[in-house]
Structure 1
């Protein structure tokens, strides 16, 4: 699981910015919701680099992207500093 997280982090750091620039017009039209599709694509693509991890389709990858977003929002809220 740690290797999968590392690979997903690398994909997000290297490939995600390029995909966001390429899909900027679609992202603007969907008010940013297309970002979930990009994240789901990266999650769906990640098992090709990590043995033992299997994503059975695009919908499970999309659900994983939404869950990761929700966890990120909660953790960011809990860790925010009060100035």
Structure 2
């Protein structure tokens, strides 16, 4: 996987256990939605058993209203 599942799990509010020691999606780990379990079987099982939803998923890219704000800004000029 290219890492997309980690981000998709975050967006859908599903806990994720990543079988790696690092990730490009640090925000998913920091928010508690993603656990880096490495590749050792015992660590993976521990992470799976402890997987819990993290804090509320927030949209790191804004609220989806950027286009409307831009139009309003240009309309007022």
Tell me if TM exceeds 0.5: no
Structure with bigger strand share is: 2
Structure with bigger helix share is: 1
